[in-house]
């Protein structure tokens, strides 16, 4: 009898990516594993250098020559197109029969439409998935396309949606995409106003960047049946909501630690007892230790 946990796994059978390092998933992942990064000077946003006593361009991780001149959702569509094209090419999906796409879902996660970051709501962003499908002539039906605006936790939400659809036999496979850019006028000002932008005066800040990535998941057994190229699997997903401390305007990381623990417990396997845990802590330096303590 098949193990229940094994039968609930989703196989990852497609990958696509566009980053400042490279326009494809293979080169991007290889470079990141080697610790390679690539920055450029962004002349549209200048910062003060107290040592030189002059202004200089901000350093960013940007797809120069691709997204220049675009703002907001304009950047998102350029990034998404590159990642989607890479997915189709790398995962050998370009020549799939139309029948394959009839039960394929497409979920795209965008940034949270926070008014402090986006004064003007990106109302056109929801049209990006359909535009992509039209541009690449992929016949995924409208009712199988979902746009979500969940920011950093959106991929977790997307995986849960995909898992439910796949195990209810509504979809056979799902393409999940995430896209964002911090290299635009509104985002850079938002980061700078919150004291998180890396500049000569703020070495503890972070270097803004932009990227898009996507992957396809499907039922492990169906993936094997169609002899898909399995890149890995997703064994469990957990989503939690942090609560603010009554005496502090910042969130603690208690719920984050609980979510990680529950994910590991849900995917416990005697043959796999070593885990790498990657945590996105985009918080001020004074709060990093507070966040890291429960972990």
Strand 40-49 to strand 10-18: parallel, antiparallel, or no bridges (unpaired)?
unpaired
Q: What percent of the chain has pLDDT over 70?
A: 85
CA distance 2 to 13: 21
Write the CA distances from 199 to 41, 214, 242, integer angstroms. Answer: 12, 31, 30
Tens of pLDDT, residues 193-220: 988 899 999 888 889 999 999 999 999 8
The pLDDT, as a whole number, for residue 260 is 82
CA distance 42 to 72: 16
51 beta partners: none
The pLDDT, as a whole number, for residue 258 is 85
| Mean pLDDT value of segment 141-157 | 94
Tens of pLDDT, residues 32-66: 889 999 999 999 999 999 988 899 999 999 998 89
* pLDDT surpassing 50 at residue 4: no
Q: How confident is the model at residue 235 (pLDDT cuts 50, 70, 90)?
A: confident
Q: How many CA atoms lie within 13 A of 143 on its CB side?
A: 5
Contact 141, 129 (CB under 8 A): no
Domains of the chain, start order: 8-237 (3.40.47.10), 241-295 (no CATH)
pTM above 0.95, yes or no: no
Average pLDDT, the chain: 87
Q: How confident is the model at residue 9 (pLDDT cuts 50, 70, 90)?
A: confident
Phi, psi (rounded to 5 degrees) for 94:
-60, -35
DSSP the chain: ---HHHHTPEEEEEEEEE-SS-SSHHHHHHHHHTT----EEEEEEEEEETTTTEEEEEEEB--TTTSTT--THHHHHHHHHHHHHHHHHHTT-TT--HHHHHTEEEEEE-----TTT-SS--TTGGGHHHHHHHHTT----GGGEEEE--GGGHHHHHHHHHHHHHHTTS-SEEEEEEEEE--SHHHHHHHHHTT-B-BTTBTTSB--BEEEEEEEEEEHHHHHHTT----EEE---------B-TT-SSB-SHHHHHHHHHHHHHT--TT-----------S-HHHHHHHHTT-
């Amino acid at each position: 009898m098949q193990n229940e946990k094994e039968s609930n796994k989703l196989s990852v059978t497609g990958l696509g990516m566009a980053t400042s390092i490279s326009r494809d998933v293979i080169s991007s992942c290889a470079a990141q594993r080697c610790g390679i990064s690539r920055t450029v000077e962004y002349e549209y946003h200048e910062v003060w250098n107290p040592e030189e006593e002059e202004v200089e361009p901000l350093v960013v991780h940007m797809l120069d020559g691709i997204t220049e001149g675009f703002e907001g959702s304009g950047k998102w569509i350029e990034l998404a197109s590159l990642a989607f094209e890479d997915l189709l090419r790398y995962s050998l999906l370009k020549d799939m029969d139309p029948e394959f796409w009839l039960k394929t879902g497409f979920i795209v996660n965008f940034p949270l439409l926070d008014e402090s970051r986006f004064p003007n709501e990106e109302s056109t962003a929801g049209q990006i998935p359909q535009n992509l499908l039209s541009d690449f002539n992929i016949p995924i039906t409208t009712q199988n396309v979902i746009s979500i605006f969940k920011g950093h936790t959106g991929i977790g939400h997307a995986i849960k949606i995909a898992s439910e659809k796949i195990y209810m036999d509504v979809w056979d496979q799902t393409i999940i995409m995430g896209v964002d850019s911090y290299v635009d006028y509104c985002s850079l000002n938002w980061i700078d106003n919150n004291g998180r932008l890396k500049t000569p005066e703020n070495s503890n800040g972070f270097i803004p960047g932009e990227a898009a990535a996507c992957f396809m998941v499907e039922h492990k057994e169906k993936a094997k049946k169609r002899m898909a190229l399995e890149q890995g699997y997703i064994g469990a997903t957990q989503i939690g909501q942090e609560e603010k401390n009554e005496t502090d305007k910042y969130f603690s990381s208690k719920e984050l630690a609980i979510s990680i623990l529950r994910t590991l417990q849900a995917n416990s396997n005697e043959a796999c007892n070593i885990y790498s845990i990657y945590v996105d802590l985009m918080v001020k330096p004074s709060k990093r230790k507070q966040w890291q303590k429960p972990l």
